[in-house]
Amino acid sequence: MTSPPLARQTCHLPWCRETVPPGMLVCGHCTDALALRLLMLPTLVLALEEAHRKALRFSVGRPGRLHGRPGEDFEEESPVPFDPRASEVLEQLVAALTQWADLIAGERTLFRPLNTAAALGPWLARQVSWMRSWPAGPEAVQRMTAAIGAAERIVDRPPDLRYAGPCGTTVTDDDGLAAECREDVYAQPGQPVGVCRGCGARWPMAERRSWLLSKVEDMLLPATELARAIDGLGVYVTPSMIRNWRDRGLLVAHGSRHVRIQDGRHREVPLYRVGDVLDKVNADRVRRESRTQHRAGA
């Protein structure tokens, strides 16, 4: 008498229907994909740090959105062109990897590396084959995949586009009613016109930059963040220029901020009003243009 055939098992991850061998809970395709992403974590960490440092995207209140349109006030504080979610998502990623590394190390009586994504990623990549038959393996693969995916989405956008605020054009919604377009406007570097990604409306970049600059005038930022913020709006200034103006008495700091530096240490950094720096930049520009015209006349 022959034994009845064993029922075919499928991968326990909600997005997969691949068949798995007896005793396995996760298919090789899903674990291989996770292993590859774990091995690439050092590169992803660098991209996240770059996303936080440079003007990849404005964020205010809710990620990736500004409230209001030219001529109106924001519902929340004004924008700066860096993404604060980058550091937050990196912390969440490290927390998720640490949690699962602790569980796996305890289950397998292994030593694990330090609590950094760059160190934990390659170590966890070596555990994914074992995780295929681990009772908690499906949850581990799903949670780590989600955490890495959230981090990847932060930096998954064209890095050279210039942000120009929310669109605000009146459009027709799915119900045929008039509504305000809440998508974002971007332009290629050097292009005079920005295009809304949602409705395709075209906006003059000079007008949009002036509007955005008016909205950030009262923000208080450290020299480095301030320089990067207004550089994203077409105004060139460096942190050393700001500090030099302060040392010469041409610029006044308004309080300070407690920030973390290397090795977990902290220090106080002065805060400068964006509008004060813009006034100084504009005054220097007018003075240079006046000198140039004087030389031309002489």
Q: What DSSP letter does each residue of 112-167 carry, written as one string?
A: ---S-HHHHHHHHHTTHHHHTTSTTHHHHHHHHHHHHHHHHHHH-S-TTPEEEEE-
Checking if the pLDDT of 270 tops 60, the result is: yes
Statement to judge: residues 269 and 186 lie in one domain = no
pLDDT 10s digits, 217-258: 888 888 887 887 777 677 888 889 999 999 999 999 988 876
Assigned domain for 78 exists: no
Q: What is the rounded average pLDDT of the residues 140-164?
A: 77
Res. 63: pLDDT tops 50: no
pLDDT at 165: 75
Task: Say if residue 126 is in the same domain as residue 41.
Answer: yes
pTM of the model: 0.47
Residue 199 sits in the same domain as residue 110: no
Same structural domain, 112 and 227: no
Binned at pLDDT 50, 70 and 90, residue 68 comes out as very low
Tell me the residue range of the domain where 254 lies. 217-298
298, 256: one domain: yes
DSSP 254: -
